[in-house]
Amino acid sequence: MTESGLTVTGPIETGLIESGPAKPVTRRLFFALWPDDATRNALNRTGKWLHQHWGGRCMRADTLHITLVFLGDLPAAQIDALLQGVQDIPIGAFELKLDQVGHWSHNRIGWLGLSQPSPALESLVQTLRDQLRALDIPFDARPHTPHITLLRKALGGAALECLPVNWMIDGFVLVASNLQADGAHYDVLRTWRLTT
């Protein structure tokens, strides 16, 4: 029992209670397609249009992207190996036609995606996953569903047709996600080019 009336049960050294081994420092990471300014503006316009129909909360324009591979919380000690190990992918630039809006009721997300699959995008995701396996970097291996989250807490509603957003893809990025009071903020750590 101390003078303040608190009972201390753990060892004390220089006035500090030992709390066990420190947890390793991690960063929440994912690979993504990151839009240029013109594409970002077109996606943002589509989000505002969708908001008029389905309500919810529009995503900030600076957060719009397509996730390729989600890594989750990666120990900082592995990040250098990741940055050095992932190579440019030799599939060449390609265009995505984002022309389908949808709503997932389980998490109330309104999204924009593809009405037709993109073999080039599927090849990019698969090649990136293969490189990560070779580096022994863990990742979320669930089937890839390419989409851009435009709304959160959306009500959904009738099926809608939207003006397509055409996006020329010539590279991909590694992004760190930092959760703050006003939502997620993203830092692009590195860009890789698609090569022929």
Indicate which residue of 53, 65, 103, 144 is catalytic: 65
The two three-digit tokens of residue 44, written as one number: 């943002």
| E strand or H helix at 124 | helix 119-134
Q: Which of 53, 103, 144, 147 is catalytic?
A: 147
Q: What angle do CA 71, 27, 34 make, to 5 degrees?
A: 60
**Whole-angstrom Cα distance, residue 43 to residue 31?**
19
Measure Cα distances from 181 to 25, 43, 178 in Å. 21, 24, 10
Residues contacting 138, CB < 8 A, separation 6+: 71, 72, 74, 132
Can 51 be counted among the known catalytic residues?
Answer: no
Token pair of 22, please?
């420190």
Residue 115 backbone dihedrals phi, psi, to 5 degrees: -80, -20
Residue where the block lists tokens 């081994």: 21
Is 147 marked active-site? yes
Active centre residues (catalytic): 65, 147
